[in-house]
Amino acid sequence: VKYSVIIPVYNEQEALELTYRELKKLAENFDGGYEIIFVDDGSSDNSLNILKDFAKADKSVKIISFSRNFGHQAAISAGMEHAQGEALIIMDADLQDPPETVLKMIQKWREGYDIVYGKRVKRKGERPFKKLTAYVYYRLLSRITGINIPKDAGDFRLISRKAAQAIISLPEKNRYLRGLNAWVGFKQAEIEYERDPRAAGETKYTLKKMLKLAGDGVISNTNFPLTAMFGFGIVLSLLSFLGFFALAVLAFAGISFDPAFWLLPAVALCSGLIITGLGLIGMYLGRVYDEVKNRPLYIINEKINF
């Protein structure tokens, strides 16, 4: 097969029929064989049975069904590991990612791009709270991680076999795929699209799941929160010396003040040293985390004359 369409599904019984029909329509425009991999992420509704009906009548439909709900990122990862196509296309099950955008992604892939991600220029039918938090989050994330994680891009994307192999080879468990996609490099392109409202059903991303994902996005891509305190601790310690100096000047000048004031810089010094120490521990912990993540040292794009 040339194309693998990967769809994570969690309690999507209302949307699946329509999604499947739209996917088949899309696939008519493919210039090669394809498979549609539905990953049922432990749905408790009728989703799995609906999928099984598709699979019975249509050999291009493949199903991976989880034993329980493991989450969106795990579902996509499973789909990627089982995909056999040359290009992997990851889409949500609710048709929020417009299928016609996929053809533009394929066009870019043909031009030689390895990762073509969808950038949301507009989100229709989503609550202001979600729009605002997403807007702020993506900007904050790219600022503090220093990795070029595209803003306003979700998991909707096309990934070449080569890039997919690299992403699959990263063994970490707290997977934030948008970060891993950016980290592996390769030629990346973006396609702008307008995110449609959900075709049917409710969002499956509870606030808790969203927070976990947001946390993974930051923590798995930067040790900044661990080490940021180091500098603050040093500054605080230095400032405490300024405090000691100021009080000493007053004392020499014969200006009387309550001796309890000496406690202020003393407390600042102790706090500063403690915070510096915590930051130092954070630096080691960050290295330990990097080692445990066990990402490869580098990823090769191509080798020539070997």
Interacting residues toward ligand UDP by CB under 6 A: 8-10, 12, 41, 69, 71-72, 75, 92-94, 96, 203-205, 209
Residue position matching structure tokens 């409710």: 202
Residue 12 near Mg ion by CB under 5 A = no
Provide the b/e sequence for 181-211 (b: ≥16 CB within 10 Å). Answer: bbbbebebbbbebebeebbebeebeeeebee
8 Å CB contact between 163 and 80? no
Strand partners, 160: 87
Choose the stretch contacting Mg ion; rule: CB under 5 A; options: 94-102, 225-233, 237-245, 259-267.
94-102
CB of 160 to ligand UDP, least distance (A): 22
Cβ proximity to Mg ion, 94 vs 155, nearer residue: 94
Q: What is d(CA 137, CA 241) in angstroms, rounded to the nearest whole number?
A: 38
Question: What single-letter DSSP state applies at residue 187?
Answer: -
93 binds, among Mg ion, ligand UDP, none (CB under 5 to 8 A by kind): ligand UDP
Q: What is d(CA 31, CA 51) in angstroms, rounded to the nearest whole number?
A: 25
Cβ proximity to ligand UDP, 69 vs 271, nearer residue: 69
Q: What is d(CA 144, CA 123) in angstroms, rounded to the nearest whole number?
A: 25
Cβ proximity to Mg ion, 94 vs 114, nearer residue: 94
Question: What single-letter DSSP state applies at residue 297?
Answer: S
Q: Given strand 87-90, what is the order of strands in its sheet? A: 61-65, 34-40, 3-9, 87-90, 153-160, 115-123, 188-195
Q: Which tokens belong to 245?
A: 């100096």
Cα–Cα–Cα angle for 127, 156, 35, rounded to 5 degrees: 135
Q: What are phi and psi of 86, to 5 degrees?
A: -80, -30
Q: What is the identity of the amino acid at 267?
A: V
35 binds, among ligand UDP, Mg ion, none (CB under 5 to 8 A by kind): none
205 binds, among Mg ion, ligand UDP, none (CB under 5 to 8 A by kind): ligand UDP
41 binds, among Mg ion, ligand UDP, none (CB under 5 to 8 A by kind): ligand UDP
CB of 176 to ligand UDP, least distance (A): 14
CB of 154 to Mg ion, least distance (A): 9
Size of the site for Mg ion (CB under 5 A): 3
CB of 267 to ligand UDP, least distance (A): 46
8 Å CB contact between 273 and 233? yes
Cβ proximity to ligand UDP, 93 vs 106, nearer residue: 93
Residue 96 near Mg ion by CB under 5 A = yes
Cβ proximity to ligand UDP, 67 vs 305, nearer residue: 67
CB of 195 to Mg ion, least distance (A): 8
Cβ proximity to ligand UDP, 62 vs 113, nearer residue: 62
Q: What is d(CA 13, CA 123) in angstroms, rounded to the nearest whole number?
A: 23
8 Å CB contact between 26 and 37? no
Among 12, 35, 40, 94, binds Mg ion (CB under 5 A): 94
Choose the stretch contacting Mg ion; rule: CB under 5 A; options: 56-64, 84-92, 115-123, 172-180.
84-92
Residue 47 near Mg ion by CB under 5 A = no
Question: For binding to Mg ion (CB under 5 A), which residues are involved?
Answer: 92, 94, 96
